[in-house]
Structures are given as C-alpha cells and as structure tokens.
Amino acid sequence: MCLSSPIPGQTQPQAVGHCNGSCTLDRNGNRSTTTSVANGGELKHRGKHTTTDLDDDNLGYKEANAVYKENAIETAKLQEEQEQKSKEVEEEEEYRPQIRWPDLGAQTFLHVGALYGVYLLFYAKFYTFLWVVVTVWVSGIGITAGAHRLWSHKSYTASLPLRILLAFAFSIAGQRDAYTWALDHRIHHKFAETDADPHNAKRGFFFAHVGWLFLTPHPKVVAKRKVIDMSDLEADAVCMFQRKYYIPLFALCSIILPVAVPWYFWNEDLFMSFWINFNMRFTWTLNVAFFVNSVAHMYGNKPYDKNIMSVEAPIVSLLAMGEGWHNYHHVFPWDYKTGEFGNYSLNITTGFIDFCAWLGLAKGRKSVSQDMVIRRAEKCGDGTRFLSDDFAHKDSVWGFGDKDIPCEDLVELAKMQN
C-alpha cells in the first residue's frame, strides 16, 4: 500500500499550500510557504541552518568556503607543477641532438686543413712563423681581455679606443661576434653543468670541447638565450657594430688580412699562407679557447669550491693567456684577473689589462679581497688552497694535549673521561 494514498473512509485535510519540511504559520494561523528573510533570510529546515542566495557572501559559511577556496588553489598549483614536470620530461624524451651538417663540415675542413698547415709550416719562411705567433697572440687577447673579461663579465671598463682594438682583435679570432659569444658565456656561468649550459661538461669531454659546435642545442639553452640580460652590450656601439657587420669583418680580419700579409710583404706562397695563417692559426686558437670548456672542467684541484666541475689547470692558463684558473673564475667571475695566483707569465691577459690601465685606457678593475677568498676556500674548497701558505694544516693537531685542539672538542673529551 502506498503511504501517500488516502485511507478509505478517512477525510484528508485540504492542503493550503505546498510545504517542504517544517512549515510555519502566518499571523492568521494558516500554513505559510514563503520563507521569511526579515531577519537575515534564515530558514529552519530539518534542524539544519541554511541560507538563501540573497546574502551568500555574508552568510555563506565563510570559514568553510575559505578552506575550500584555499584547497582549490593548492590543487590548481599542484596540477600546474605536475603539468610543468610532465612537459619537461616530454622535452627530455623528445630532445635528441641532431648533427648540423654544415657546421660539422666546417669543423672538419678547419681541422684537416690545420694538420696540412702544420706540415707546410716546416717549409714556410721564418717570418711566416713569427706572423702566426703574433696573430695568435693578438686574437687571443681579443678573446680573453675582450669577449671574456670585458664583454661577458664586465670585470673592468674600457675606453672607446681600447674597445675598438679588442673588437678588431676578436674579429681576427673569428669565434662569432662578441655579443653572441658573451651571451652563451653568461648562460654557461648562470647554468653551469645543467642542460641549459651550452657546453655542459657532464655530457663528456668531446661535447664540451667541440661537439656542441655542430650539434643542435638543448631546448633549455635556446630558452635561456631569451632571458639573459644583455642590455649593457646592446648599449655598446662598438660591440653592436661588430655584431652587425660580423661576416665582412670575419672575411677581412680572420682570412684576408692574416693570409695576405706574408704573401705581400715577404713573398710567401699564397697557397701555403692560406693553410698556415687561416686553417692552422684559426684551429689552434679555437682549440686552446675550448680547452677551458673541457680540460679546465675536468682535470685539476678545486681550492675554492669542490662542488662544481671547474678546476685549476695551470697548463691551460699557460696556453690560454691566464684563463685556466677556472675553479676560482667560476666562484668569482667578476675578478678581472680570473685567478688568485700566478704571475704575468701564466696570466698574460692580466698584464695586458694592467698595462692598459697604466695608459689610462682601462679603469674600474674589479677584484676579490683576500679575506673573501679565504672564507670561500675554508667553507667550500677541497683544502688545496691552504697547502702552500700560512694557513697550511691550520686544523691539524699532533694528539691529545695539543693546545690547538678546538675548545668544543676539549669539552667533549672532558665529558668522556668523567
């Protein structure tokens, strides 16, 4: 039997109106189906406190809604983070370095031609050999004092004549324009040994040395190239001129001038001069510069920070005019000397900058105080910083009773004896 069906013989009351739950009576004693909102729109329904939509902001479970809203925000953040991680994983999976065949062909031509140039050098005139040494040195200064210490790190300021000289010298080196070189180098320092590092040493010696030149860059490298601040170089008219006219400057300064001078002034064979003064010279400078990316990130001590890959490599400093003190340089990249130790013989570039400062062409040389170096070496270094100075073995003791035992150790030893 349906409970809502009328019982036979029983009279059903006439419904005044539809009633949902506990209804109230109006002043005349009749049922009322209208909700009273005079006192805030409250309605007693089955013993629970509810509200109407009229005052939802004021009477809508403020605390509970705040919690719900906070949880929703946290959930959205988690979802966004998960999506970002998934995107990064997808990029990692999708990234497969591809060979850029024109660049590989260029590197092959340079290196094979360089070997031929070494062979021809034995038959060249003595002045040609001297000319190679001069152009290697001048182009090296363009890299170290110009593209590196000046334009990449702003470790000193240079006058207009000096900047023009350095741009010319760097054009002889032929290692792209100074703006592009500095951009990748700043990224290298900001994101060293990560996927965003253009020549990440964790990908192996060959990649760090030369492989990165003819392989497609990681997507993170491309992304970081768009966010690094380069406004200072964009405001440098010399740097931007060299960037704008790089191709003709490369042809003139890196090929025509080095090759033509021996041919014109001391009648060197033009064919021989090309392989020696372009291929061999260019490839030598290129590889010496990239020893800093490979050797100086793998083989040596870490006096200033043992947690990074860059090391102190004196042999690289000798070849690269002072650029091999690389553990120091990554810890203090604003120091114009790029190293703590070593005289001018192992840091020719520092001598060049000091000479320009003496002439009034350079100023604002930035360096690091001795106290700052010692603090960093004590905190993060591998201990080799103190092997040859007054701090050598400063924490060593000969045994129990040594007056140099730290006070905290003495307290603990006393407790153990009691």
Residue among 129, 110, 111 at smallest CA distance from 268: 129
Per-residue pLDDT of the chain (418 residues; tens, 9 = 90+): 444 444 444 444 444 444 444 444 454 545 544 444 444 444 444 444 444 444 444 445 455 555 566 666 777 778 777 777 666 555 556 788 999 999 999 999 999 999 999 999 999 999 999 999 999 999 999 999 999 999 999 999 999 999 999 999 999 999 999 999 999 999 999 999 999 999 999 999 999 999 999 999 999 999 999 999 999 999 999 999 999 999 999 999 999 999 999 999 999 999 999 999 999 999 999 999 999 999 999 999 999 999 999 999 999 999 999 999 999 999 999 999 999 876 788 899 999 999 999 999 999 999 999 889 988 998 999 888 877 666 666 667 778 778 878 888 888 888 887 6
CA dihedral 375, 347, 143, 204 (to 10 degrees): -60
pTM of the model: 0.74
User: What integer pLDDT is reported at residue 40 of this predicted model?
Assistant: 43
User: What integer pLDDT is reported at residue 136 of this predicted model?
Assistant: 97
Residue 218 per-residue DSSP state: P
User: What integer pLDDT is reported at residue 87 of this predicted model?
Assistant: 63
d(CA 372, CA 340): 11
DSSP 360-379: TSEE------HHHHHHHHHH
Residue 157 backbone phi and psi in degrees, to 5: -115, 145
